[in-house]
Chains A and B, each alone.
Chain A
Amino acid sequence: MKINMNNYEEFMLSFVDNELSEEDTGKLMQFLEQHQDLQRELRVLQATKLPSDEKIIFPDKDLLYRKEAVSPKKAFFTLRSPWVPAAAAACLALLLLFSLHPWKRQVVSNATSFNASPKREVFFPSGSPLTESLHEEKKVKQSEGIALRPAEIKKKNNPVPPSKKESNLIAKGPEAKKAGLAVMPALPDIPSSVNENKEIALNGNDLPKQLPLENTMHAGSLKKTDAPESNKYYDGHLLASDNGSTKDISVTEKIDEWRKKPGEILENIHQKGIKIGKITFAVNN
């Protein structure tokens, strides 16, 4: 396009805007040389250009900087280093070694033989807990005026013959009736080698009012023997005496295994840290 007096202004404006091509810039320069009176007009147009103004600054630039939040997945892979798999392998090896060690197997086998029944529950069909008899015994002894001596505390490995024990611990006959207590049927004499009863040695005021139920829990089912004596002992049932009262422990599981261990202490009963009794199994042969 040829520059003339009708269109030179547009060429000048484009030149000020730096939008004019080199070719057109040359044409404009030639035109201005021919029309020097228009050179002033170009200078005024150039004066309209806004000068660079770098003095205005943004005062809160710190508010604009950002830092990307590291996602947990990314953090995991970022923190992962070559020794992490080695550490994991070492942990697994230690676990394997621990689980396969011989003493570990022995402990497991012992525990299995002792804890024959996986479920340890006590059932009281008559609705009277085992500990009730202990409470009754205290009342009976007090009513009979029997002083409880520390010497009566029996040691675990020194069981008392059933006959002697029953004389001390079982509330019998008219005395018990006088005391208003339920009379527990007397057990027939049982050989101590076969029938080890629960021994109760009470020490004065330490006599428990009620033992926690869990202290009396054993495998099988435990109940007071309200049945006639003829029904108290029969093969496959275990007997225990708590506080002189006879308990018929009907073992429903692992009976054969238990029968091989008559007299085995199932549990010691403690009150305030003092052993006050134990429960053993007895088998009527």
Chain B
Amino acid sequence: MTEKEFNNCVDLYAGRLFRFIIKNLKHEEDAKDIVQNSFEILWKHHHELLFEKARSYLFTTGYRNMVDHLRKGKRVNLVESFPENVKVQGDIPPDIGPVLQKGLERLSEMQRSLLMLKDYEGYSYEEIGEITELNASQVKVYLHRARLKMKEYLVKMENVL
């Protein structure tokens, strides 16, 4: 991967990786640190990597950094609502919708990560398995469970509303 391709990766994937991390961590500075660290590692190995593999490499690095960060217990206490300090364009709240947002927060870290990798990034089960160090079958099972959990929440909220 060339320098130009690396900087192209910054344009293409920095925002997406940041979104993926911040929706798990709920902490802007920690998410920024992880994104910067991920791109730092990518830069160190950019000569060995193909541009086509860069996104997967970035998300793998970012996901593992995030899991390490969460395991260290620094940001274990996840807040219920979306943090106000997260910068969004035009100060518009996340377009996920309040019900989906709350349902997402009820998922485990793993389920939430799988769901975001699937829906935001469109990764296949195999690709998600590479990022999360799971096999494709595990990804499929975990992802289906997460989806059903979300469905139950939506149905429940629909009945309440």
Contacts and interface: CB of A to CB of B under 8 A. Distances in A.
A59 B88 CA distance: 9
Interface string A205-217: 0000000000000
B64 interface: no
B27 interface: no
Contact of B120 (A50, A60, A67, A68): A50
Interface of B: 3, 6-7, 10-11, 14-15, 17-19, 22, 32, 35-36, 39, 43, 86-90, 92, 94-97, 100, 103-104, 115-116, 118-120, 122, 124-125, 140, 143-144, 147-148, 150-151, 154-155
Given A44-B154, A65-B10, A68-B3, A56 B18 contact: yes
B19 A45 contact: no
A56 B124 CA distance: 23
A56 B36 contact: no
B12 to A, nearest CB: 11
A147 interface: no
A13 interface: yes
Max chain B C-beta neighbours (<10 A), residue from A9, A17, A57, A66: A17
Nearest to A40: B155
B152 to A, nearest CB: 9
A16 B147 contact: yes
Interface string A43-70: 0110111111111111111011111100
A64 B119 CA distance: 26
Contacts of A13: 143-144, 147-148
Contacts of B15: 54, 56-58, 61
A148 B122 CA distance: 110
For the complex, would chain A's binding face be called helix, strand, loop or mixed by DSSP majority? loop
Given A65-B7, A67-B3, A45 B147 contact: yes
Contacts, number: 103
A48 B143 contact: no
Contacts of A60: 32, 36
A192 B56 CA distance: 102
Nearest to A45: B151
Interface of A: 9-10, 13-14, 16-19, 41, 44-45, 47-61, 63-68
Given A53-B94, A61-B10, 13 more contacts: A17-B144, A41-B151, A48-B151, A50-B104, A50-B120, A52-B120, A53-B96, A55-B95, A56-B18, A58-B15, A60-B32, A61-B11, A64-B36
Given A47-B154, A55-B95, A61 B14 contact: yes
A65 B151 CA distance: 41
Q: Kindly list the 7 A-B residue pairs having the minimum CB-CB distance in the complex, ordered from nearest.
A: A48-B150, A50-B119, A58-B18, A58-B14, A56-B19, A13-B144, A64-B10
A177 to B, nearest CB: 91
Contacts of B148: 9, 13, 45
Contacts of B19: 53, 56
A59 B95 contact: no
Contact of A55 (B89, B144, B147): B89
